[in-house]
Amino acid sequence: MNPVLVPTNDVNSEHGILVMWFAEDGAEVAKDELLAEVETSKAVLEVVAPVAGVLLHAAAKGTEVSLTEPIAQLFATPAERDAYAAARAAAPAAAPDGPRATAKAVRRAVELGVDLASLRLDRLITVKDVEAAVAVPAPAADLPAPLPGAPGRQRILIVGAALGATQVLDILAGSTTQQAVAIVDDDASRWGDLVHGVPVVGGAALISELFTAGAFDAAIIAIGRSPAVRARFRELCASAGVPLANAIDPTARIATDVRLGQGNIICAFCHVATGVRMGDNNFFSAYNSFDHHSVIGSDNASGPSVYTSGRVTIGSRIRFGTGIVIEPDVTVGDDAAIASGAVLVTSVPPEHAVKTKIVTTTVVPLRR
């Protein structure tokens, strides 16, 4: 097998565009036969066969190629070429992105027998994370117990002890029907803390155990930033048979003929108009307004002041920024991300981001 390289000493370019193949994939070519043209920033380079042989393309016409990697291979016989091509096709595809971890963390995980995937961390895993995972079964005695809860009220377990929890606790503060009794969070440094008087009793692993023990009636996932994390904890609760509760601020206006699922957090001054159908586990910040007959999926998260017109369709796991306006009949697909300040006049397909150009505010001194 002989590699076919782009002949260049052009120090200005590391890449080029493969403009044209002059020899078909699988063709038998003679030494010095013109095989391809590659355009770099400086020149169009002709690539000739370094030896005679049977050609196997390694790059398609019109694609960008590295000037240091072979663009093709040449084989002595068609059989050799086909065997190589088949072997390459059969080679396992690159492993899908596993958890990202430092080399030290990987070594430490092996030492401690920790499965990195089980850490479920949405960031770079370090030695500290690995060691914390081993330390999870901390002595239960050190951790506070859930509050008992007043009779006749739905006892709520809050998932997540960060600022989202304080928002949910604020909504529940005036409630005569719901009471927060405990918080769980996977950040062990928060364990034992009180958030607005409610104890952080341990990690999410405790959810099932506490529910079985009858310590709470329903959970609310108080994580505002990441729809993906919201979805993960909703699945975790579902698998443990834990119901989710809605937390609706008393200043929110929920119209007639509205159907809400479970686990939705609806902050102050929100408006859910008549005919709206809302799924589960959404976190809508203050001053959101969903006008009539809009349909909303699950696990969404929004900043303040997201306004929709009527008959808007919002999928699931969508992250909305602040101050977004959506025109009638627009559909926002699942897993989309909408930047602050967007005005959506057309639909957004799933897994697309809407960017806005509000990047700076120019402040200049006043001139006389």
Partner 1 sequence: MIFAKELGDTLRGALDGDRRVVLLGEDIADPYGGAFKVTRGLSTAFPQRVRTTPISEGAIAGISAGLALAGYRPIAEVMFGDFLTLMFDQVVNHITKYQAMYAGQATCPVIVRAATGGHRGYGPTHSQSLEKHFLGVPHLRVVAASLYHDPRVVFADFLGRDEPVLYVEHKLLYPQHLTLPVHGMVGDLIATSDCSPGMLPTIRLSAVPAAECAVSVLAYGYPALLAAKVVERLAMQEEIFAELVVPAQIAPMDWAPVLSSAAATGSVVTVEEGADGWSWGSEAASVLSRRLFGKLRRPVDVVASAPTVIPSSKTKEAAVLVGGAQIEAAIRRAC
For residue 23, what are the contacts with CB-CB under 8 A and spacing of at least 6?
Answer: 29, 33, 34, 35, 36, 49, 55
Under rule CB under 8 A, residue 359 binds partner 1: yes
Name all contacts of 171-174 with Cβ < 8 Å and 24+ positions apart: 171/247, 171/248, 171/249, 171/265, 171/267, 171/268, 172/247, 174/250
Under rule CB under 8 A, residue 120 binds partner 1: no
Q: Which is nearer to partner 1, 88 or 120 (CB)?
A: 120
Taking 3-state DSSP, the helix, strand and coil percentages for the chain, each rounded to the nearest 5, stand at 20, 25, 55
Under rule CB under 8 A, residue 103 binds partner 1: yes
- Supply the minimum distance, in Å, between the C-beta of residue 353 and partner 1: 8
Restricting to residues 28-47, name those near partner 1 by CB under 8 A: 41-42
Under rule CB under 8 A, residue 225 binds partner 1: no
Q: Which is nearer to partner 1, 7 or 78 (CB)?
A: 7
Under rule CB under 8 A, residue 123 binds partner 1: yes
Three-state secondary structure call for residue 45:
strand
Restricting to residues 42-71, name those near partner 1 by CB under 8 A: 42
**Contact region for partner 1 (CB under 8 A) — 85-93, 99-107, 223-231, 342-350?**
99-107
Q: Which one-letter amino acid corresponds to residue 248?
A: I
124 to 163: interface string for partner 1, x by CB under 8 A: x-xx------------------------------------
- Supply the minimum distance, in Å, between the C-beta of residue 17 and partner 1: 9
Under rule CB under 8 A, residue 95 binds partner 1: no
Tokens, residue 24: 């078909």
Helix (H) or strand (E) holding 199: strand 198-202
Euclidean distance between CA atoms 253 and 273, whole angstroms: 8
- Asked whether 195 and 83 are in contact (CB, 8 A), the reply is no
Out of 98, 250, 361, 366, name the contact with partner 1 by CB under 8 A.
361
* Residues near partner 1, by CB under 8 A: 11-15, 41-42, 100, 102-105, 123-124, 126-127, 359-364, 367
